[in-house]
Each structure stands twice: as structure tokens, then as C-alpha cells.
Amino acid sequence: NRLGGWYSYRASKAALNMLLKTAAIECQRGRPQAVLVALHPGTVSSALSKPFRGAEIGRPADQAAAELLALIDRLTPADTGRFIAYDGAPLPW
């Protein structure tokens, strides 16, 4: 988002992103048939998101989980190292 703040959260996300990209390189070398991706579940209605979502924005957790499982079933080793939204759209790092 463009609101700023949340320094520790943002720094940890940046570290996680680089960890995944680096691990994906190692994964492709040692286990070329494995798939290692980062998945973005979208906004999920939960107690955690309630203060930030304003009006009822988001999907129920069971729907979000079903969408992620369906996406996982479609992934191939060619997807390794990518950041992917719950609907299959590629996301920029």
C-alpha cells in the first residue's frame, strides 16, 4: 500500500521475498520437479483484517483456502520462483 509506516512488517516481507527467490534457485538445481512459489491469498475476512478493511471487503477464509488449493493443483515447476495471486495472476516482486 501507499500509506507508509509498518517498517518492521515491510522489512520482514522484503526478506521473505528474497529468501523465496534464493530458495527457488536452489530448488531448481537440486529438485527440478519441485514447485516453490509465494502465494498471495487476497483480502480474507478475519479478525486480523477487520480493522483495516472498512466495509465488508474480502472473502471468507474457506473460499480463500479453496481458491489457493485449486491454484496449487495447476502449478508446474516452471512457476518456481514466482509470486502469484490467488486468481493465478502474476504479481511483481
Q: What is the per-residue pLDDT across 17-44, written as a single tens digit (0 to 9) for each? A: 999 999 999 999 999 999 999 999 988 8
* Entry pTM: 0.79
Place 2 in a pLDDT band, splitting at 50, 70 and 90: confident
Domain boundaries along the sequence of the chain: 7-85
b/e string for 44-76 if b means 16 or more Cβ within 10 A? bbeeeeeeeeeeeebbeeeebeebbeebeeebe
What is the spatial distance between Cα 93 and Cα 76, in angstroms, rounded to a whole number? Answer: 19
What is the spatial distance between Cα 49 and Cα 45, in angstroms, rounded to a whole number? Answer: 6
Q: Is it the case that residue 70 has pLDDT exceeding 90?
A: yes
